[in-house]
Chains A and B, each alone.
Chain A
Amino acid sequence: MATRRCGPRENLKLRDYQEELVREILNKLKEGKRNIFLSLPQGTGKTIIALAALSELINENDLESVLVLLPRRVLVDQWVDRAQEFFYGLDLMKNPTLSKMSIEKIRGWLKHSGAVGIAMTCQSFRNYIKKGYFSEEDFDMVIVDEAADLVVARDFIEGFRMSAFLTGLEKWKKPKILILPYHVSQKKIRRMMRKFGKQSHLIRRYISISQFLCTVNDPIIVKDPLINIFVTALEERYKRIRTNVNRILNKYGIEGYRENLETLLNPITLERLKKIYRLDDETLQQIQTMIAKYILIQHVKKWFLYSNREELSRSILASQKDVEKWLKHEDKKLLMLEKVVRSYLARNCKVYIFSQYIATAQLIADFLLKRLRLKLRDVVLITGLDEDQYVKLDSFKRAGRILVTTPVFDKGTDIPQADAIIIYTPPMSTEKLLQVVGRIRGGEITLLAYEGYEEEIINQVADKLRQAFAKVKSRW
C-alpha cells in the first residue's frame, strides 16, 4: 500500500506561533511524552494546530487511524469540514451515530475509505467502548478537543474525577493531544494531567488577538415589580431549605457536600453516609425531600426570570392571584429583547441570542418571528433537539439575521458572522460564560436583567466579563 501523504492546502498559511506550537507538540511526543495538553485562548486556531500536528505525525510515523473526540455533535461536523477544507489527505469519518450505519460497515469504511480516522462525540465514544465496538488497539492516536470537561465537579471524597463519558481514556497508552481553552484554570489542568500520569506535558500560551475583544454594554434593566416579589420569596425559601440541610449535616458531623447539595440525592452517596455517619432512614428521607424541594425552587425561580411561561402556566403557581395577573400581561423582558434586537437589525447587525434553556429559546424565536414580522429564514433556532445543527448554523451564517441557541454552541463552534451577542439567560459559571461569548469575533455583548434581585447578579456577570477583556488588553 502506498504511503499516505497529507499537509496543509494552499489556502492555509500557518501563523508563526502556530508553527512554533506544532513543532513543540511534535518534539514533546518524540521525547516520549504521551499526553500533550494544549491550552490556548479562543480563536488562536487550536483545531488547525492540532490538525497540522496530526498531518506531520501521519507523514512521519505513518499513522493509520486517529480518533477525534468532541463534546458536541456540531463540533464533529466542524472538525471534519475543517480537516477537508484546509488539509489534503486528511479525511475524517463523521460520528457513526449520525451516519446510522452498522458497526461492521463503519469498521470496513475506516479500513478501506482512505479516511485517517474517525471523529465522534464523547457520548458515542462511551457507548462504543461499552459495547466493545472499538478499543485502544483500533487507533494510533487520540485527539480530544474542548477537553475542559475531561474532569468534572470537585467531590469531597474523590476530588476531581474523570468525566463519565471518557472514563478509561486516561489509561490508554496511545499518544494523545488534549485541547483546552485558556480560561480553564491551571490548577484544574494540573489535576487532569495527574489523572493521565507522568508522561503528560502542558503547553499553555497566552496569545492575544485583538479582533476577539468585545464591548460589554451596561446591562439593560427591565422593570417588573411582581417578578422581584416572586423571586425574592423563592430565594428566601431556597436559603431556608439549605440552612435546614446544613443543620442536619452539622448535627451528624458530615463534612463536604455543601457546595453541591444535589450530590446527596445520589443513592451511592446516601448509602455511604448511612455507613460512615450512621444516619437513619428517616433522616436520609428528610434530606432527600428537602434537596428535591430546593432543586424545584431553583427551577421555578428560573422560570420566572427566564420567561418560561409555558411551564409556569401549567403549574399550581399559576392559580396564585399575583402570578395569575403576571401571566396575563406580556413578558416585559421579552418586550425589551424585541426592542434591543430591533435596534441591532436597524444597524444591519446579525444577532446571536443565548438562552440556557430550550423552552426559553423556543419562546424567544417564536416571539421575535411574530413581533418583528420576519421571514422564517431570518430567525434560526438551534437546540439540542435538532439533529441538523451544523446545517442550521450554516443557514444563519449565510442568510439568517437572528440566531437563538441553547448551550449547543458553547464550545469550540465559530460564529464569526454574528455582530452582537445577547445573553438572555446567563450560563451557570464564568467559565461557561466566557465560552459562550467566545463564539463571536468581537462585537457587543448585551445582558438583560429584571430590576432588583437579578440586576445585582447580572451586574456582577458584566463586571466579570469586563475584567476578563481588560486582562486581555493589559497583556498587549
Chain B
Amino acid sequence: MDLIAISDIYGDVRIVREFLSRLSTTEKDDRIIIVAGDIDIKTSSEHYFKNVSRILKLLSKNCRYLIYVPGDSDAKELFVTKRNIVNIDRRNFMIQVDNVKIGLLGLGGAPIHSVREKNFFPYLWNENIPIVRENLMMNLKINLEKLMVYRPDYIILVTHAPPYGIADYSRPITLSEEVLLGDILEEELETGIEKTRKRLARNPKRLGSRVLKEFVRYYKPDIHIFAHVHKQGGKTITRDGTTFFNVSHLSPLPYRLTGRKFLLLKITKKGITFSFDSVVHKNLPFQDFLEIYL
C-alpha cells in the first residue's frame, strides 16, 4: 500500500495539479493520501470553503481514501462530504488494503504558543489550560483504544502540530509569513502585525505540543505525521519506536527552498519504507533548476 502525506497547500490548486500529475493513475486504488492541515488560508473569504472542497475532491479522485486534519489556518469544520474523504480531527479511521490493517487517529489545529498573531489563525488550542490539555489527551487515548479493537498492523497519528521537541524548532509562525502567499487582506495585516509588533516573540523556540509529546511517549504510535513548522520540513526522526515525519510543505511558499515536498510511505506487513520527494522536474540542468525553483 502506498501512503502519500502532504500538508500546507495554502489554497494553491496549481501545485496540487502538478503533484497529482506525478502520480500514476493505475495505482490509485492502492493509494491513500494524507493531508496534515493548512489546506487553505483566509477563512473569512467567501470562496474559502469552495476552494477547500475543490482541493480535497481533486486529491480524492486520485486515491482510495483521502484522510485529512485541518491546520491552524483552516476552519475547524470544513464541510466536505464525499465517501472517500475522511476528516480524522479528534476521530479515528481504520483502513485495510492487501491484508494490511492501518489505524489512523488525528488532531487538527495547533497550540496557541506556536503562532504570533493569535487572532488570525482560526484553529488554535491552549494546552496550558488544564481542562483543554486533559480533553485533548483523553480524546487521543479514546481514539487509540477504539482502533486497538481491530488489532491494526500499524497505528498512524496524523496531526498538524509537531510534538514538543521533535522537528519543531523555529520562530513562531507569523502572519507575514503567510502573507507571502498573497492571500491576506491588507487591513488585516495592518491590525494584525503593526499594532502588536512590540509584544510579539521573535526568537526561535520549540513550537510543538506537549500533549502530543506526552501521548506519543506513552502510547507509541508507529508513525507520527505532522507539519506546521515549515523550516523543519522534511525531517525524519525515529525515537522510542515511533518514526516522526515533518511533511511541510507542498506549497512552494513560504520557503521556496523547502517547498513542493511530499512523503511517500510504502507499507507492507513486513515493514515500512519511506522517502521524501518534490514536485519538480528532476532532469533539468542544475542552473535551470535554480532559475525555476529557487
Contact = CB atoms under 8 A, between A and B. Distances in A.
Contact of B258 (A237, A314, A323): A314
B278 A296 contact: no
Contact of B277 (A293, A297, A319, A321): A319
A229 B256 CA distance: 21
Interface in A166-182: none
Given A296-B257, A300-B257, A324-B282, A316 B294 contact: yes
A319 B291 CA distance: 15
Chain A interface, >50% SS class:
helix
A250 interface: no
Interface residues of A, number: 22
Contacts of A262: none
Contacts of B283: 321
A318 B289 CA distance: 11
A234 interface: yes
B286 A316 contact: no
Nearest to A312: B257
B257 A237 contact: no
B99 interface: no
A317 B234 contact: no
Interface in B239-294: 256-261, 276-278, 280, 282-287, 289-291, 293-294
A316 B235 CA distance: 13
A55 B290 CA distance: 61
Interface residues of B, number: 24
A319 B290 contact: no
B280 A314 contact: no
A321 B290 CA distance: 12
A387 interface: no
B286 A296 contact: no
A362 to B, nearest CB: 14
A317 B289 contact: yes
A320 B284 contact: yes
B234 A322 contact: no
B258 A316 contact: yes
B287 A236 contact: yes
B103 interface: no
A254 interface: no
A237 B116 CA distance: 34
Contacts of B257: 296, 300, 315-317
A184 B136 CA distance: 58
A316 B256 contact: yes
Interface in B185-226: none
A237 B290 contact: yes
Nearest to B257: A315
B34 to A, nearest CB: 19
B282 A296 contact: no
A316 B248 CA distance: 12
A391 interface: no
B233 interface: yes
A163 to B, nearest CB: 19
Given A296-B294, A314-B233, A319 B282 contact: yes
A165 interface: no
Contact of A316 (B261, B285, B287, B291): B261
Nearest to A237: B290
Given A233-B287, A321-B283, A293 B294 contact: yes
A230 B285 CA distance: 10
B287 A320 contact: no
Nearest to B167: A314
Nearest to A313: B234
Interface string A292-326: 01001100100000000000011111111111100
A293 to B, nearest CB: 7
Among B233, B260, B286, B291, the one with the most A-chain Cβ atoms within 10 Å of its Cβ is B286
Contacts of B286: 229-230, 233, 320, 322-323
Nearest to B285: A322
A184 to B, nearest CB: 30
A241 B282 CA distance: 24
Contact of B290 (A233, A314, A318, A324): A233
6 contacts: A296-B294, A300-B294, A314-B258, A314-B276, A316-B280, A320-B282
Interface of B: 233-235, 256-261, 276-278, 280, 282-287, 289-291, 293-294
> A-B pairs with the 3 shortest C-beta distances?
A314-B234, A319-B278, A233-B287
Given A233-B286, A314-B235, 10 more contacts: A234-B290, A237-B290, A314-B234, A315-B258, A316-B257, A318-B278, A320-B286, A320-B289, A321-B282, A322-B285
